[in-house]
A = this chain, B = another copy of it.
Amino acid sequence: MPESWANLGIDLLIEPAGRHRRAGLERGLRDAIQSGRLRPGTPLPPSRTLARDLGVARNTVAQAYAQLVAEGWLAARRGSGTRVADRVLAPAATEEAADAAARIRHDLRPGRPDVSMFPRAAWIGAARRALAKAPDQALVYGDPRGPHELRRALADYLGRVRGVRTTPDRIVVCSGFVQALGLVCRVQRGRGARRIGVEAFGLPHHRGVAAACGLAVTPLPVDAGGAVLAGLADADVALLTPAHQFPLGVPLAPERRRLAVEWAAATDGLIVEDDYDGEFRYDRQAVGAMQALAPERVVYAGTASKSLAPGLRLGWLAAPAHLVADLTEAKRLADAGTGVLDALALAELLTSGIYDRHVRRCRLVYQRRRERLVAILRREVPEARIGGVAAGLHVLVELPECVSEADVIERAARNGLAVEGLDAYRFGAVAAHRPALVVGYATPPEHDFTTAVARLCAAIGAAG
């Protein structure tokens, strides 16, 4: 084996030769990163060098690198080549990883609600009532879009709370936003789409989903007005977080909402509106869903992962009429529908008003937490700057001059606090930002919140 390749510690000889080398190379690199043989930050050889060593086309290596950058395993910076990403966000796939998770005593990572507020009794009650009134027929293979009860309840709720313009027949209940995104990408790929524009700060998991559906993934710069849409020029699909950019926390500026819709109309493009936390705005009435501007150009996507619990794996799409048949067929081929018992329980929660009350209660808790967090940070580490609007479950904390994300994260970890840096969400060379933490203030249970925040301040202050 040539030396430069041997240095990566990867054995490509086990892969089948010929046309599947790209997939084999991707798998080999992924395994090596997951297993720790390739450490975070390790530089990879230039694609030309590696291609020569392996005896494959340079394009094969370049494509494999691009795929792994999209998935978040690798990071590419202009002028400094390709490296293993500093922190890989793939969720714990092994029991060792679960053990590592158990060593975390305080958790301020974003993307999770306070699941200690999950209304266990109300959920079981709703499930019991829903099952009691469901006819036997509800338990067999049904509409791949999900039971009509839930689609009707969602159409009402989304119209009322988020201003979504839809009807029950345009709703597709999915196994979380991840599946919803995959269905849209697969359908659009089948209709000829080649490229999806995603915000240059965002979840690597979502980029991986789009890439796995065969779409090339292009970063859109993000500034104080949200995604910069000029980058959409050669895209067919755009994935946006208009209400509350994740993770920077800014809403998409009104003129950009209009621009996005105009782009879609002019180019026959499609926008996926990821409304992951649209129910949580604290300083004013929430901005309505962008979907209402152009229901035939925007797929609205929502989730119960933030309002109830990610483990439910319940999400939903409100789709343009012309996509419903294809999305239904894609869902049928993916899994023939999401589990009907959870769907009926959620419908019961929605129609009984319990869901609204739960969301209001969470909103109050998260608003107070946000205010406490911001007040304490301003007092304890006044050099840090708070970014984004008062909304959602996370806040961007820009670090003081000369403080690195990695130092703060490491110091926090030594004190049992898990926290994430902005760099973990960065995608592509257009993404540039002052070092920052993405602090999820919803994650810790109430009794632990004060301690977690104190350790956060210590980690930031002491690292300075």
Chain A interfacial positions (CB closer than 8 Å to B) = 16, 18-20, 23-24, 27, 30-31, 34, 90-95, 98, 101, 111-112, 115-116, 118, 120, 123-124, 127-128, 131-132, 136-145, 148, 169, 174-176, 178-179, 182, 190-192, 205, 208-209, 212, 309-314, 325-326, 328-329, 332-342, 445
Contact = CB atoms under 8 A, between A and B. Distances in A.
B95 A144 contact: no
B143 A98 contact: yes
Which interface residue of A24, A111, A310, A341 has the most chain B CB atoms within 10 A? A341
13 contacts: A20-B191, A23-B191, A27-B191, A91-B142, A95-B148, A115-B137, A124-B124, A124-B127, A141-B310, A182-B334, A312-B339, A313-B335, A313-B338
Contact of A140 (B34, B112, B120, B209): B112
Nearest to A118: B139
A136 B118 contact: yes
Contact of A333 (B20, B118, B178, B309): B178
Contacts of A178: 333-336
Given A182-B334, A208-B333, A332-B93, A325 B31 contact: yes
Given A175-B175, A182-B333, A144 B342 contact: no
Contacts of A313: 335-340
A311 B142 contact: yes
Contact of A311 (B30, B98, B182, B341): B341
Contacts of A182: 333-335
A143 B92 CA distance: 6
A120 B445 CA distance: 33
A309 B137 CA distance: 10
A30 B187 CA distance: 14
A329 B118 CA distance: 28
Contacts of A136: 115-116, 118, 445
Contacts of A338: 175, 313, 339
A299 to B, nearest CB: 17
Contacts of A27: 190-191, 326
Given A24-B191, A95-B148, A205-B336, 14 more contacts: A18-B192, A20-B192, A23-B191, A95-B169, A98-B148, A115-B139, A115-B140, A116-B136, A140-B309, A175-B334, A208-B333, A212-B333, A312-B341, A341-B342
Nearest to A116: B136
A311 B140 contact: yes
B176 A311 contact: no
Contacts of A328: 93
A208 to B, nearest CB: 6
Contact of A205 (B20, B123, B332): B332
A342 B337 CA distance: 14
A94 B313 CA distance: 24
A91 B335 CA distance: 12
A205 to B, nearest CB: 7
Contacts of A112: 140-141
A448 to B, nearest CB: 11
A140 B333 CA distance: 27
A26 to B, nearest CB: 8
Contacts of A176: 335-336
Nearest to A111: B141
A140 B418 CA distance: 15
Tell me which of A127, A174, A311 has the highest count of chain B C-beta atoms within 10 A of its own C-beta: A311
